[in-house]
Amino acid sequence: MKLLYQTHSPYARKVLVVVHELGLAGAVEVIHHETSPTRRNAEVFAFNPLGKVPVLLCDDGLALFDSNVICDYLDNLHGRSTLIPADPKRRYRALQWQALAQGMADAGIAVRWEAERRPESLRWPAMRDGQLEKVIAACDYLEREMTTHDAVDIGAIALATTLSWIEFRNVCAFRVGRPRLSSWYDGFCTRPSMRATTLRGDTSD
């Protein structure tokens, strides 16, 4: 299998952490691709009409996107689910946390557009602040809820990789005033899957 990847994408990192957690690192070739709404990457567009990574090119010729679909595919590759629980209560908790993490990443990217990526004359401070409020509210929610979630599942992986990106891009100081969230995140970051997938690189628009 081949994974079209970007070294500074929270969505791509989530998939790569899943690859490592499932013991599939030796079966997946990781290929870095720079993508941006302002710069067309023809190789990525050839497999994903949205022009985004991650994209998983499967051995049978199937091309899968986005990160949620890829993670579900990988988790069921051998006929059993490991990271997406079968038990309904655990399953929907994990999927909800994955959705929360994706929303945090989406909002964080919007913050960066209005804070630094968009030409200064076109930036919209109210949009930046509104999106940042979503990230902060999500972190506050996690601080309240974190003690009830200690499993290694798709929700935990999504949250850890999103928080790593928020810290990497300095979107907000999520650790400040949130000892439970900080402690959980620090513990999760010691996992080999996280150590093997460190974020790096700059956005190229």
Domains, in order of start, for the chain: 2-75 (3.40.30.10), 88-195 (1.20.1050.10)
pTM, two decimal places: 0.96
DSSP 173: -
Residue-averaged pLDDT of the chain: 95
d(CA 61, CA 10): 25
Provide φ and ψ at 90, rounded to 5°: -70, -35
Pairing verdict, β 2-5 and 29-32: parallel
d(CA 118, CA 113): 5
Residue 101 exposure: Cα atoms within 13 Å on the Cβ side: 26
Give the mean model confidence (pLDDT) for residues 86-113: 96
pLDDT tens by residue, 48-91: 999 999 999 999 999 999 999 999 999 999 887 789 999 999 99
List CB contacts of 30: < 8 A, sequence separation 6 or more.
2, 3, 5, 16
Cα 119 to chain centroid distance, Å, stands at: 26
d(CA 131, CA 33): 27
End-to-end CA distance of the chain: 28
pLDDT tens by residue, 106-128: 999 999 999 999 999 999 999 99
- In this predicted structure, what is the pLDDT of residue 79? 81
d(CA 56, CA 4): 6
Contact at 8 Å (CB) between 129 and 187? no
